[in-house]
């Protein structure tokens, strides 16, 4: 298991893991300006002093590695009526102090390895009117504190290794009847050895 975890970390964080923080916030708190439409790739990567980020409704996308390696990040706040549509590859990978996350209803896709290695992430909330259709490869891999997750009815695909190494995950509720599981998506979870997982945990809408 230790070797698997190491290989996953190398794969998930990749070359971006060595970047330096370009704009370290002095007090650890950042509010994105109201007129910004996106958060750029690598914008706050490796900003280990960052504790809280507030994202306005004008932001439509969070770029690749935007907050990767922000090891002190505890709070991600989306302003009411958020307009966020995409969360990029490795956007929050390795944010190991993040415990709770509410995905805005407007998000349609969660990128590859977006929250991989968020080892304290216990609560992920999708609202009933969520627009998410895809969860990328390794999106929640090595989220070792995650035990229960209810996925939205709009979901059509769960990528390869999506929950790989989420060792405490034992309850997965899926209300979509058209989704597909990727290869090894539940490896290393409490659900790994369950037959016909897609049917056992399917909840009628």
Q: Using one digit for the tens of pLDDT, what is the confidence trace for 26-77?
A: 789 999 999 899 999 999 999 999 999 999 999 999 999 999 999 999 999 9
C-beta of residue 187 within 8 angstroms of C-beta of residue 161 = yes
Query: What pLDDT, on a 0 to 100 scale, did the predictor assign at position 19?
Result: 58
| pLDDT score of 197 more than 70 | no
Q: In 3D, which of 183, 73, 61, 64 has the Cα closest to residue 121?
A: 73
Position 81 confidence tier, pLDDT thresholds 50, 70, 90: low
Residue 27's Cβ-side half-sphere holds a number of Cα atoms within 13 Å equal to 4
| pLDDT score of 196 more than 90 | no
Q: Using one digit for the tens of pLDDT, what is the confidence trace for 140-180?
A: 999 999 999 999 889 999 999 999 999 999 888 887 777 78
Query: What pLDDT, on a 0 to 100 scale, did the predictor assign at position 172?
Result: 87
Sorted by where each starts, the structural domains of the chain and their CATH numbers stand as 1-12+30-193 (3.80.10.10)
Name the most confidently modeled range: 15-29, 88-102, 149-163.
88-102
pTM score:
0.85
């Amino acid at each position: 298991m230790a070797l698997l975890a190491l290989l996953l970390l190398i794969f998930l964080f990749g070359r971006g893991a060595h970047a330096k923080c370009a704009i370290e916030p002095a007090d650890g708190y950042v509010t994105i300006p109201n007129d910004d439409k996106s958060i750029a790739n690598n914008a706050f990567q490796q900003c280990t002093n960052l504790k809280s980020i507030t994202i306005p409704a004008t932001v439509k996308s969070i770029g690749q590695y935007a907050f990767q390696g922000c090891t002190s990040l505890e709070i991600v706040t989306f302003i009411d009526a958020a307009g966020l549509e995409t969360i990029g590859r490795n956007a929050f990978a390795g944010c190991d102090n993040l415990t709770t996350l509410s995905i805005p209803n407007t998000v349609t896709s969660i990128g590859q390895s977006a929250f991989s290695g968020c080892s304290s992430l216990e609560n992920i909330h999708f609202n009933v009117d969520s627009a998410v259709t895809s969860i990328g490869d390794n999106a929640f891999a090595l989220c070792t504190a995650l035990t229960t997750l209810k996925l939205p009815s709009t979901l059509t695909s769960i990528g390869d290794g999506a929950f790989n190494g989420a060792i405490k995950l034992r309850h997965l509720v899926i209300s979509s009847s058209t989704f597909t599981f990727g290869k090894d998506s539940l490896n290393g979870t409490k659900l790994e050895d369950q037959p016909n997982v897609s049917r056992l945990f399917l909840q009628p809408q």
